[in-house]
């Protein structure tokens, strides 16, 4: 199938450097075991899960370190064979806001270093940190262990602050400084798109030679076109309904309000559509959306469209795929997206997308082929784009699947393994591994002491 690559044989070498045997993955603020679509769980969680599984399939063990949010969580969970999730005690057993987590980084870092100290030196070959909080931990572990740090930002404070949604609070200065430090220290920076790579260089003075573009993937076996009528029965919408779908966390950044306002505009222009229109909002409040958890429902009331809007809790992948198949259009009106996995998942199911022309979405959506990109966030423009997609749905649906097939998690993992191997080789060429340094020091001491 297009976009797929065969798994690289275990033990294949990258030049003279062997592939890593064990990767320490850092995901401080959210666990790969959490359900995406609520709290702090989203595309980052999907990324860590899918890449970790494929690394394990290549014979590369992965240990994911994440903060424990409940005393009932087991210290260690095997996600799949070869992938271990370690719940680190750092701060109270509760969900802390991101602004509270920097105070827990010392405790988290100490636990990560303590785990490595239980093993022989060189237990981990590479660190991969996700989000700036994890990058702060990875920076310290990198220097202690003498292994390279590969960092994925996922979102960038300076970029978010430049495109704030109305009523959204700017990212704090502490985060900006923390990101600048991680960018300066990481051996490799992984950008989802060429635009994100340019942002890292322009806004954070990243070294272009250490900044690599590695697009995320999509599970092309799980997210597939299917029986649309059956999908509609499964999610509870009529066969003749016009279904507009939003999937994601309910917060100003993701802009679900733009979809509701566009739906109201469609009804104002065509009142007879009310008997058929269904707006499905799949997700739950998170981040800044927690300050006003009922804001979206209140907006639907004020717009007079409560009868066509249905809120759906976050869905497991199989059920989420049914929602994509049931929809006429998936709408992704975010103010910023480093990539936009939702757009890719929808297209893999054959559902065209209307999306904001921001961040990574121009890469995730092929404008005019798999959907329509909208500059700005004017609801009238989104209403017009939805009409256009509905009119051309059959053609765009075929283009959506073709476009999604350009991306796969296997390809993403191949590129990451290459990045790991190159970073390992570069570090070994400059600095001897910790074990060799210790042995060299012992030999020097012994020689000096015998004189």
Q: Is 131 annotated as a binding residue?
A: yes
Q: Is 98 annotated as a binding residue?
A: yes
Element (H, E) at 272: none
Q: Is 343 annotated as a binding residue?
A: no
Of the candidates 410, 451, 443, 435, the residue with the CA atom closest to the CA atom of residue 8: 410
Q: Is 84 annotated as a binding residue?
A: no
CA pair distance 369, 395, nearest whole angstrom: 8
Q: Is 388 annotated as a binding residue?
A: no
Q: Is 351 annotated as a binding residue?
A: yes
Q: Are 256 and 362 in contact (CB under 8 A)?
A: no
CA 218 to chain centre: 11
Q: Is 66 annotated as a binding residue?
A: no
Q: Is 402 annotated as a binding residue?
A: no
Q: Is 420 annotated as a binding residue?
A: no
- Which residue matches tokens 């022989």? 120
Q: Is 45 annotated as a binding residue?
A: yes
CA pair distance 166, 98, nearest whole angstrom: 20
3-class secondary-structure state, position 50: helix
Q: Is 241 annotated as a binding residue?
A: no
Q: Is 249 annotated as a binding residue?
A: yes
Which of 430-436's residues contact partners 24+ apart within 8 Å by CB, and which partners? Answer: 431/146, 433/121, 433/122, 433/146, 434/121, 434/122, 434/145, 434/146, 435/120, 435/121, 435/122
CA pair distance 392, 386, nearest whole angstrom: 10
Q: What beta strand segments (E) does 219-370 contain?
A: 242-247, 277-282, 309-312, 329-332, 353-356
3-class secondary-structure state, position 22: strand
Q: Is 325 annotated as a binding residue?
A: yes
Q: Is 254 annotated as a binding residue?
A: yes
CB-based burial of residue 72 (10 Å sphere; 0-12 exposed, 13-18 middle, 19+ buried)? exposed
CB-based burial of residue 36 (10 Å sphere; 0-12 exposed, 13-18 middle, 19+ buried)? buried
Q: Is 181 annotated as a binding residue?
A: no
- Which residue matches tokens 């994509």? 324
Q: Is 44 annotated as a binding residue?
A: yes
* 63, β-bridge pairs: 24, 84
Q: Which two tokens stand for residue 275?
A: 């008997």
Q: Are 294 and 258 in contact (CB under 8 A)?
A: no
Q: Is 155 annotated as a binding residue?
A: yes
Q: Are 357 and 230 in contact (CB under 8 A)?
A: no
Q: Is 366 annotated as a binding residue?
A: no
Q: Is 42 annotated as a binding residue?
A: yes
Q: Is 92 annotated as a binding residue?
A: no
Q: How many CB atoms lie within 10 A of CB 307?
A: 12
Q: Is 345 annotated as a binding residue?
A: yes
Q: Are strands 61-67 and 83-88 parallel, antiparallel or unpaired?
A: parallel
117 Cβ neighbours under 8 A, 6+ residues apart: none
Q: Which two tokens stand for residue 83?
A: 């992938």
Of the candidates 365, 345, 349, the residue with the CA atom closest to the CA atom of residue 42: 345
Q: Is 337 annotated as a binding residue?
A: yes
Known binding positions for 1D-myo-inositol 3-phosphate: 29, 40-45, 98, 131, 155, 175
Known binding positions for Mg(2+): 324-325, 327, 351
Known binding positions: 29, 35-36, 40-45, 98, 131, 155, 175, 249, 254, 315, 324-325, 327, 337, 345, 351
Known binding positions for UDP-N-acetyl-alpha-D-glucosamine: 35-36, 43, 249, 254, 315, 337, 345
């Amino acid at each position: 199938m297009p976009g797929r690559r065969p798994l690289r044989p275990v033990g294949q070498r990258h030049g003279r450097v062997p592939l890593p045997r064990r990767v320490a993955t850092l995901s401080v603020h959210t666990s790969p075991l959490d359900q995406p679509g609520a709290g702090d769980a989203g595309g980052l969680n999907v990324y860590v899960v899918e890449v970790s599984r494929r690394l394990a399939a290549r014979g590369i063990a992965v240990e994911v370190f994440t903060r424990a949010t409940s005393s009932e969580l087991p210290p260690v969970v095997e996600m799949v064979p070869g992938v271990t999730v370690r719940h680190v005690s750092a701060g109270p057993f509760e969900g802390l806001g991101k602004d509270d987590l920097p105070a827990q980084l010392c405790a988290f870092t100490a636990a990560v270093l303590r785990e490595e100290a239980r093993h022989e030196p060189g237990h981990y070959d590479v660190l991969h940190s996700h989000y700036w909080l994890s990058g702060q931990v990875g920076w310290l572990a990198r220097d202690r262990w003498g292994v390279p740090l590969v960092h994925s930002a996922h979102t960038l404070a300076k970029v978010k602050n430049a495109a704030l949604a109305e009523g959204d609070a700017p990212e704090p200065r502490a985060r900006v400084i923390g990101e600048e430090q991680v960018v300066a220290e990481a051996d490799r920076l992984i950008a989802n798109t060429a635009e994100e790579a340019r942002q890292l260089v322009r806004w954070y003075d990243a070294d272009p030679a250490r900044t690599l573009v590695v697009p995320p993937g999509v599970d092309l076996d799980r997210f597939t076109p299917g029986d649309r009528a059956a999908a509609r029965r499964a999610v509870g919408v009529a066969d003749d309904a016009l279904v507009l779908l939003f999937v994601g966390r309910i917060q100003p950044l993701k802009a679900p309000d733009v979809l509701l306002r566009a739906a109201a505009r469609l009804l104002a222009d065509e009142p007879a559509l009310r008997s058929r229109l269904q707006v499905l909002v799949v997700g739950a409040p998170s981040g800044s959306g927690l300050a006003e958890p009922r804001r979206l429902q209140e907006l639907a009331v004020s717009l007079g469209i409560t009868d066509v809007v249905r809120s759906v809790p976050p869905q497991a992948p199989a059920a989420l795929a049914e929602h994509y198949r049931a929809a006429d259009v998936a709408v992704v009106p975010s103010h910023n997206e480093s990539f936009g996995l939702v757009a890719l998942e929808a297209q893999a199911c054959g559902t065209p997308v209307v999306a904001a022309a921001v961040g990574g979405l121009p890469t995730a959506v092929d404008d005019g082929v798999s959907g329509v990109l909208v500059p700005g966030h004017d609801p009238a423009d989104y209403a017009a784009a939805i009409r256009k997609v509905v009119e051309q749905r059959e053609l765009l649906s075929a283009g959506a699947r073709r476009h999604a097939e350009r991306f796969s998690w296997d390809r993403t993992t191949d590129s990451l393994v290459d990045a790991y191997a190159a970073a390992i080789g570069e570090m070994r060429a400059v600095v001897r591994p910790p074990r060799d340094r210790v042995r060299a020091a012992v030999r020097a001491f012994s020689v000096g002491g015998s004189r």
